[in-house]
Amino acid sequence: MKTVILCGGYGTRIRDVAEDLPKPMIPVGRLPILWHLMKYYAHFGHNDFVLCLGYKSHVIKDFFLNYEARTRDCTVTLGSDSEIIYHTKHDELNWKVTLADTGTESMTGARIRKIQQYVKDERFFLTYGDGLSNIDLHQLLAFHEKSGKTLTVTGVRPPGRFGELRSDESGIVTEFNEKPQATGGRISGGFFVCEPKLFDVLPAQDNLVFEEEPLRALVKQRELAVYEHDDFWQCMDTYRDWQLLNGLLADGKAPWEIW
């Protein structure tokens, strides 16, 4: 199965982290959050990717076109008999990455519509290039297949905005959670599974927002299923989110790092 990743937004709320990078290329640790996400899918055997590019697409293209040189020691011979000899190896074997420019101003629904030629009549994964989770993709896919619906969305409990304090009767703090999960309703965490019929609700218009009319149409048709996930999920919308993800990785507590 192919994995389609939306990578084209402006990421205006996180410009204070990196003004010169598209959000999926902002590093978590030493590598972009996009790499962590792709590495996660590849762990489950899904290593055929279609990246929907837009804002600063050249940065993402440059990263993958020069990936071998960026990630491996090499000897470069310059001149008319130029040659590159790679010495070390990496684990990203047999990744296939389609870099699809879906337009700088296109909205999410339009971006998905524009990569139809690359997924054709096949079922595919779909997600955003700015969030990480420890969702079991095998279970997600099995749930989708059993539902028989056009689209399955992962429903998550969003992290709380503020730290949560718990104390005993004497007022002594017994527990502090920096970003606890909310106990209320669920939100879309992305991590979709899509049938080709999805394109039937994606008209060809650049201002089409996937999360608005297309999803409402599927709800009306009773063709949208939700897979409930109660464990780790974290988007990277703000500087604080970026700090949180980097802190988890630095402390060896990154729930998505299962490879």
Domain harbouring 61, CATH code: 3.90.550.10
Q: Establish if 183 belongs to a structural domain.
A: yes
Q: Establish if 258 belongs to a structural domain.
A: no
Cα first-last separation, the chain: 19
Nearest to 28, CA basis, from 178, 245, 232, 238 = 245
d(CA 156, CA 145): 20
pLDDT (tens place) for every residue of the chain, 259 residues total: 999 999 998 866 666 677 788 999 999 999 999 999 999 999 999 999 999 999 999 999 999 999 988 888 999 999 888 899 999 888 777 899 999 999 999 999 999 999 999 999 999 999 999 999 999 999 999 999 999 999 999 999 877 654 444 555 655 545 555 555 555 578 899 999 999 999 999 999 999 999 999 999 999 999 999 999 999 999 998 899 999 999 999 999 999 998 7
d(CA 173, CA 239): 27
Q: Establish if 70 belongs to a structural domain.
A: yes
Domain count, the chain: 1
Count Cα neighbours of 2 within 13 Å in the Cβ-side half-sphere. Answer: 24
Q: Establish if 257 belongs to a structural domain.
A: no
Q: Establish if 259 belongs to a structural domain.
A: no
d(CA 160, CA 182): 5
Q: Establish if 255 belongs to a structural domain.
A: no
Q: Establish if 23 belongs to a structural domain.
A: yes
Q: Establish if 72 belongs to a structural domain.
A: yes
pTM value > 0.85: yes
Where in the sequence is the domain holding 79, given as residue range(s)? 2-250
d(CA 252, CA 21): 26
